[in-house]
Amino acid sequence: MESLVSFVENEFVARKEFPKFSAGDTITVYYEIKEGEKTRTQFFRGVVIQRRGSGATETFTIRKMSGTVGVERIFPINMPALQKIEINKRGKVRRARIFYFRGLTGKKARIKEVRS
């Protein structure tokens, strides 16, 4: 059964090519929003908190500060409305899921940048 599910995912799910990114990276996600008959492109820029899942069911969570309020958004990697992903900064973190980042404010909430 597992092989059948993976076969269907590999054959029939259209995969888009996005750059490699991981937790701690600051990225900008461009996605399409439909409002009635109109469509427009909106972007969401923030720090990647986690990537979870694999294959067609993979998702990633981004966190940004909107004023003094933290906003998180979960994006499926195969969402049809996803247009492109830009990597703004590569971050150096020791964990795959940086949930501790939610509790940090001010200068403590900075992530060291990896220069490459």
Domain of 39 in residue numbering reads as 2-105
The radius of gyration of the chain from alpha carbons, rounded to an integer in Å, stands at 16
- Counted domains in the chain: 1
82 lies in a domain? yes
The model scores a pTM over 0.95: no
Give the domain CATH number at 97. 2.30.30.790
Query: What are the pLDDT tens digits along the chain (116 aa)?
Result: 778 877 777 777 677 888 999 999 999 999 999 999 999 999 999 999 999 998 778 999 999 999 889 999 999 998 889 999 999 999 999 999 999 999 988 899 899 999 86
Tokens 């009635």 found at:
36
- Beta-strand (E) ranges in 10-58? 26-35, 38-52
Asked if residue 116 is part of any domain, the answer here is no
